[in-house]
Every structure is written in structure tokens, then in C-alpha cells.
């Protein structure tokens, strides 16, 4: 509203609705400023220092019992206690057992121990190096250390000073090789393969150039009718088996991957012609059929071993020696 001189003196003129009042704006602005100032002042006077977060104190070291037999109370050191030991550590007086990398050694063979003792009977007459090896072999046989015994026999077979013991050493080496092959230890002749979709016992054997009998003996706990992709099995991998029959000497040497593996004795075969006889899937070319045609007879156990090792693409060689 406003006042102005009019026709009848000072007259009152009401303000139109379109006019804007600036006084109300200033009043509201002033009130806002006062509220902000009062809030800031209140915060400044009531502000407290921030709370400091301290690390959680470690528990004091446990009191130790006196070890000198006195009744005095145990004391706790006043110095800062050491950090607690990790959970997987144990006290020095109780060392944590370490899981062996290899399975425990096989129990010693009583017959092998007796044979080792017989080999030691002549040790005193041997040179020092051979005597040490014979004693090492006897100790390994008694303790069931297959790998050590195999390595020691190989080193002995390379020494002419024990040539008279070579037949016994080669025979024992074959027995240890068999024992190592069918144990849970890793060996130079085996590998582990993962079963793929569509695999079966015969297919895995064919892919690795071995036999189903070898797979069954290497995996006694596997149900081959229920294998699934992702299962892991042991295989006799690419053995390239060769059996050399020595007609005059009366034994046959089986080699895997080009090295001696086992020696077998046989009878007959005097009239077998020297030569190479490959093992195939053709009729009359199986291991049993070839041995029958050569007139060579092995014990049922040894023949089962040979049929297991001599897969198709292996060979039987006949020597006149």
C-alpha cells in the first residue's frame, strides 16, 4: 500500500497484486543469516577432539610354571609381549610331523633279506668300493628301500669285480623293478592320464600302447565300467616292450623303453629259429601263439606277466646265445 496527495487530501492507495514486496525478502534473508551464524557458533563451542582408535591390546604372555621345583609364583615379564605364534606352528618340544613326499617303504621281503645276506658272505673278499656297495644293498633290502636297492644293483652290475654275482644281481633287479612298478611310487615306466569323454579301458590302453591287463593291475581300485571324464588313472606309457629269448642260457630278458626290466626262466625253445617275431592283433601273432610256435614254455605266472607287458607293436627276439 502507499499514501499520496489526492483530490480530497492525503489518500490511501492499496498496492496492486502484481507489485512485489522487497521488504519481506530482506527479512527472510536476514533470518537465514542469523540461523547459519548461530549454528556455526554453536558447533565451534561444542566441538570435541576426534576419538583416536587404538589397536586392540595383545593378551599378556601366559605365566610359566617354575621348573626348579620351588613354590614361588610364576612371573610375567613387563616388557612388551611378543606377537602370538601362527596357528600352524607348534612348540619346539613337540615338532609337527612332516608328511613324507613318498609313500612309506614297502615291508622288506624275508627271502630278499636272506639273498642279500648271501651276497654279503663274499664281501670281505671284495675290493673296498664293491664291499661298500654290497653293504649298502643289504641295508636297503633290510629297510625296504626299493629305489636305493635298484640303484645300488645297477652300480654293482657295472663292476667287473663282482661278475660272479651278476646273474643273482640281475634276477634281483627284475624282482625289485616289478615291485616298484606296482607300488604307489612313481616309476620310469608309468604316467598318470586324465580320462576324457568316450574313453574306456581298452581305448586308454590302445592310446598308450599297453594292455588292459596292465591298466587293471596298475589301478586295482578302479571300476572300469564306471569311469568318468576327469578321473585320473595310472598307465604303462609307451613301454616299447621287447622280450629277448636266449636259447642256450635258458632265460629271457624283458626290456621296457630300451632298458632291462625283468628276467624270466623258461624251458624248451631249442629248435626256435633266431629272429624277430612282432606281436600284432592278427591271428597267430599274439604272445601266447608266438611262444607256442617257438616251443618256449614259461610258468603260468610268468606267461601272464609277458602277455600283460607285450602289447601289439611289441616284439619277441630269439637269440642263439
Q: pLDDT (tens digit, 9 = 90+) per residue, 7-41?
A: 555 555 555 554 555 677 788 888 888 888 887 77
Angle ∠(101,103,108) on CA atoms, nearest 5: 135
pLDDT of residue 73: 41
Label residue 29 exposed, middle or buried (CB < 10 Å: 0-12, 13-18, 19+). Answer: exposed
Task: Give the tens place of pLDDT for each residue, 211-247.
Answer: 999 999 999 999 999 999 999 999 999 999 999 999 9
DSSP assignment letter at 203 = H
Structural domains in the chain, CATH included, are 110-181 (no CATH), 190-236 (3.10.350.10), 242-319 (2.40.440.10)
* Spatial distance between the Cα atoms of 279 and 269, rounded to a whole number of angstroms: 18
Task: Give the tens place of pLDDT for each residue, 59-108.
Answer: 444 444 444 444 444 444 344 444 444 444 444 444 444 343 444 444 55
Cβ distance 177 to 150 under 8 Å? yes
- The most distant pair of C-alpha atoms in the chain lies apart, rounded to whole Å, by 162
pTM of the model: 0.64
Count of CB atoms situated within 10 Å of the CB of 269: 18
Measured CA to CA in angstroms, residue 30 lies from 20, 27, 36, 158, 243 at distances of 18, 5, 10, 111, 112
Cα 159 to chain centroid, rounded: 36
Point out the least confidently predicted range of 4-18, 35-49, 269-283.
4-18
Cell of 177: 623293478
Count of CB atoms situated within 10 Å of the CB of 202: 12
Amino acid at each position: 500500500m502507499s499514501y499520496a496527495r489526492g483530490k480530497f487530501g492525503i489518500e490511501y492507495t492499496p498496492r496492486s497484486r502484481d507489485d512485489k514486496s522487497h521488504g519481506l525478502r530482506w527479512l527472510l534473508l536476514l533470518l537465514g543469516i542469523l540461523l547459519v551464524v548461530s549454528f556455526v557458533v554453536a558447533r565451534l563451542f561444542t566441538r570435541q577432539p576426534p576419538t583416536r582408535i587404538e589397536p586392540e591390546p595383545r593378551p599378556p604372555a601366559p605365566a610359566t610354571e617354575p621348573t626348579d621345583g620351588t613354590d614361588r609364583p610364576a612371573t610375567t615379564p613387563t616388557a612388551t609381549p611378543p606377537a602370538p605364534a601362527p596357528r600352524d606352528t607348534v612348540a619346539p618340544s613337540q615338532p609337527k610331523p612332516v608328511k613324507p613326499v613318498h609313500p612309506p617303504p614297502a615291508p622288506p621281503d624275508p627271502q630278499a633279506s636272506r639273498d642279500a645276506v648271501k651276497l654279503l658272505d663274499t664281501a670281505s673278499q671284495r675290493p673296498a668300493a664293491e664291499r661298500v656297495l654290497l653293504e649298502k644293498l643289504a641295508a636297503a633290502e633290510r629297510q625296504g628301500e626299493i629305489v636305493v636297492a635298484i640303484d645300488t644293483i645297477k652300480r654293482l652290475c657295472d663292476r667287473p669285480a663282482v661278475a660272479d654275482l651278476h646273474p643273482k644281481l640281475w634276477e634281483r633287479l627284475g624282482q625289485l623293478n616289478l615291485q616298484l612298478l606296482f607300488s604307489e611310487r612313481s616309476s620310469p615306466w608309468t604316467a598318470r592320464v586324465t580320462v576324457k569323454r568316450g574313453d574306456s579301458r581298452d581305448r586308454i590302453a590302445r592310446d598308450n600302447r599297453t594292455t588292459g591287463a596292465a591298466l587293471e593291475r596298475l589301478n586295482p581300485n578302479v571300476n572300469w565300467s564306471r569311469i568318468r571324464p576327469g578321473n585320473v588313472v595310472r598307465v604303462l606309457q609307451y613301454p616299447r616292450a621287447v622280450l629277448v629269448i636266449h636259447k642256450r642260457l635258458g632265460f629271457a630278458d624283458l626290456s621296457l623303453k630300451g632298458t632291462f626290466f625283468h628276467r624270466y626262466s623258461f624251458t624248451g625253445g631249442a629248435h626256435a629259429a633266431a629272429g624277430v617275431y612282432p606281436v600284432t592283433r592278427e591271428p597267430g601273432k599274439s604272445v601266447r601263439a608266438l611262444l607256442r610256435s617257438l616251443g618256449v614254455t614259461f610258468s603260468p605266472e610268468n606267461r601272464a606277466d609277458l602277455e600283460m607287458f607285450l602289447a601289439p607293436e611289441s616284439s619277441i627276439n630269439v637269440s642263439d646265445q
